[in-house]
Amino acid sequence: MANMVNLKINNIPVSVPEGSTILDAARLAHIEIPTLCYLKDVACVGSCRMCLVEATGARGLVAACVYPVSEGMEVQTNTEKCRKSRRMSLELLLSKHKKKCPSCERNHNCELQRLSAEYNCDEDYFEGEPLEHAIDDSAPYVVRDRDKCINCNRCVAACKKQSVGAIGPIGRGYNVHVGSAFEMSLMESVCVGCGQCIVACPVGALTERTTVDEVWSAIGDPNKKVVFFTAPSVRATLGEAFGLPVGTNVEGKMVAAIRRLGPDYVFNMDITADLTIMEEAHELLDRIQNKGVMPMFTSCCPGWIKFAEQKHPEILPHLSTCKSPQEMFGGLLKTYWCEKMGIDPKDLFVVSVIPCTAKKYECHRPEMKGEVDAAITTRELARMIKTAGIKFTELADEKFDDPFATCSGGATIFGATGGVMEAALRVAAKKLDGKFEVVDFPQVRGTSPIKEATYNVAGHEIRVAVASGLANAEEIIKGIQDGTRHYDFIEIMACPGGCVNGGGQPTLPDSMRNTLDLKSLRAEALYDSDKGNKLRRSSDSPVMDMIYKEYFGQPNSHKAHEVLHTSYKADERI
């Protein structure tokens, strides 16, 4: 057990483990010290100077987020000196900030705006230079507005943590700013579109490129049939945008709200999560039994796919050829379902609701052939619901539309790191050994960056690994290439914790992000849903029986490959 350090915060006695910071200690005393550049598990550099406090033994004010506690220390967090320093820091930031709050996506959900109000700042106290930098909207997934940036560098830290490094500080002193190398646009950079920079940003400098207007236009077009479908993790996060506790499963309210927006159908993307598992599990077994390219990596995360194409083209033969559930659903709707319903695919407008911004990029990949017309994030869906005046929390639960409503629990846990692996193991193990009844694989659950396990099924030893966060994917790849890691099947998710922590999820206040385990709370909602589902394996779903009987024949058939599979190629720019 760690040695404890005793100190006082605003005269309140606190005991904390040795090595803790003043910020850590203050939280145990239920005292909130303001921060802007600090973000738990992402950035801790003490550069914004918002968390300055007075502490015995220190010369002048110190940054609480990095300053270590000591025995007998006495800290004051709210003296006149602290308040004046914070207010000046805020007013200096405001002098270089585009103050168009009413039209900003982060209005009323902005850390700079909140702190400026709390400290009664004069936004024009310091006169800055004119702000006239062009907005970078070159990419189909992220928009960057340099004039809103406060140089906290949280986005830079998030991108570096992902082992991508698409953005960084440029220049020095007053002229320093965040950008890509050689001032290139995001589309020209090595950005993979994961969106972790967006959820790290405390202001509106980084946002997703919205397609909400196109969706509203399609809904209002009498010649269009509009279909919405929602990714597994959205049900566990959408409620946060309406003040519900983190980890609340709002599936029924979500369906009811979308239906009130006016589309013709509301479907469950868990259906094609099941379909992905059917195809992927059979592909894995085929590679094992016929000595195909091994190990096999999952392919359902477009941020990971872009990362592999750019940085590790040598592993592309190891990727499963399965499309993501989003693109599988788009392809399924514009082939099988349109034929079944007698709808011209040109008249169908397909909208996916997704937890990440990389899915927006995926829609623009030429090989996806316009299967999904618009991908909107959880945040965008929340804004549409608010715009429509729908009282979300007052809605009664409603169900998805048939025939794409019933799914397995394995599909639901897709949104958590390890979920794809567990769902695939459920099907693959049963396929190898018809008597294998285990459906819970706890070794691949949890938010650890890298998880490993070995399972013996019908004489086959299956070695698996799960990694979330691209830096951890990098570690897995390096280990395979240098011979220190040996696997048969590997799940990779670009975002730490998986889709529940995707770049398109609700942006919560720092006071919540820095104190709650968002990844675990959100994932718990999905595992609870899985546990309560009578159908645990994708292969048990009657919808899978229907789709294969009526259209594909069997997993990995020629027709299935035409609609549900794809290919990859090295990024020629890198």
- The domain spans of the chain are 4-78, 105-208, 220-270+328-394, 280-322+414-564
Q: What is the pLDDT of residue 571?
A: 83
CA-to-CA distance for 363 and 357, rounded, in angstroms?
10
Within 162-301, where are the H helices? 196-200, 212-219, 251-261, 270-289
Q: Quick one: which of 180, 148, 145, 154 has its CA closest to 48?
A: 154
111, 283, 371, 491: the active-site residue: 283
Q: Give me the catalytic one of 300, 356, 363, 407.
A: 300
Q: Which DSSP state fits 204?
A: S
Cα 412 off chain centre by: 16
Q: Is 143 helix (H, G, I), strand (E, B) or coil?
A: strand
**β-strand pairing of 12-17 with 4-9:** antiparallel
Q: What is the pLDDT of residue 131?
A: 87
The answer to whether 227 touches 350, Cβ cutoff 8 Å, is yes
The domain 105-208 is placed in CATH, from the list 3.40.50.1100, 3.40.1350.10, 3.50.50.60, 3.30.70.20, at: 3.30.70.20
Q: Rounded to an integer, what distance in angstroms lies between the CA atom of residue 547 and that of residue 557?
A: 13
Q: Indicate if 398 belongs to the active site.
A: no
* Residue of 183, 339, 367, 437 marked catalytic: 367
Q: Which helix (H) or strand (E) holds 467?
A: strand 460-468
CATH of domain 280-322+414-564: 3.40.950.10
**Residue 283 annotated to the active site:** yes
pLDDT given at position 477 = 98
The active-site residue out of 116, 320, 529, 538 is 320
- Position 129 scores a pLDDT of 85
Amino acid letter, residue 493: M
Q: Is 407 a catalytic residue?
A: no
Pairing of strands 225-230, 168-170: unpaired
Strands 206-208 and 62-63: unpaired
- What does the alpha-carbon distance between residue 470 and residue 421 come to, in Å, rounded to a whole number? 17
Q: Which residue among 116, 352, 499, 529 is the active-site one?
A: 499
Indicate if 37 belongs to the active site. no
pLDDT score of 489? 97
| From 111, 309, 327, 362, the catalytic residue | 362
Query: Cα separation of 241 and 41, whole Å?
Result: 22
Q: Rounded to whole angstroms, how far apart are CA atoms 264 and 282?
A: 34
Residue 47 is among the residues annotated as catalytic for this protein: no
Between the two ends of the chain, the Cα-to-Cα distance in Å is 48
Is 320 considered catalytic here? yes
Element of type H or E holding 427: helix 419-432
Cβ-count burial of 442 within 10 angstroms (0-12 exposed, 13-18 middle, 19+ buried)?
A: exposed
Residue 370: predicted pLDDT = 87
pLDDT value at residue 1? 65
Find the length of the chain. 574
Sign, Cα dihedral of 487, 488, 489, 492: positive
Q: Up-side HSE of residue 297: CA atoms within 13 Å toward CB?
A: 24
Q: How many CA atoms lie within 13 A of 26 on its CB side?
A: 26
Asked if 207 and 142 count as a contact pair (C-beta separation under 8 A), the reply is yes
Q: In whole angstroms, what is the distance from residue 245 CA to residue 422 CA?
A: 27
CB 217 within 8 A of CB 374: no
Q: Which helix (H) or strand (E) holds 425?
A: helix 419-432
pLDDT number for residue 431: 92
Single out the residue of 295, 319, 296 nearest to residue 307, CA to CA.
Answer: 319
Catalytic residue check, 499: yes
User: Contact 360/211 with Cβ under 8 angstroms?
Assistant: yes
* Beta-strand pair 450-457/225-230: unpaired
Answer whether the bond into residue 403 is a cis peptide, omega within 30°: yes
Q: Which tokens go with 231?
A: 């990714």
Q: How far apart are CA 251 and CA 295, in angstroms?
A: 35
Res 205: pLDDT: 98
Selecting among 359, 430, 431, 519, the annotated active-site residue is 359
SS3 call for 108: coil
> For the domain 4-78, what is the CATH code?
3.10.20.740
pLDDT along the chain (574 residues), means of 10: 91 95 95 96 93 94 96 97 97 95 96 97 92 94 96 96 96 91 95 97 97 98 98 98 98 98 98 97 93 96 97 97 98 97 97 97 90 98 98 98 97 97 95 91 96 92 97 97 97 98 96 95 98 96 97 97 95 65
Contact 433, 461 (CB under 8 A): no
Q: Tell me, yes or no, if 356 is annotated catalytic.
A: no
**539 in the Ramachandran plot: left (φ > 0), alpha (ψ -120 to 50) or beta?**
alpha
SS3 labels along 358-391: HHHHHHCCHHHCCCCCEEEEHHHHHHHHHHCCCC
Q: What's the pTM?
A: 0.95
Give the C-alpha separation, 352 to 228, whole Å.
Answer: 6
Classify domain 220-270+328-394 by CATH number. 3.40.50.1780
What pairing do the DSSP bridges indicate for beta strands 348-354 and 225-230? parallel
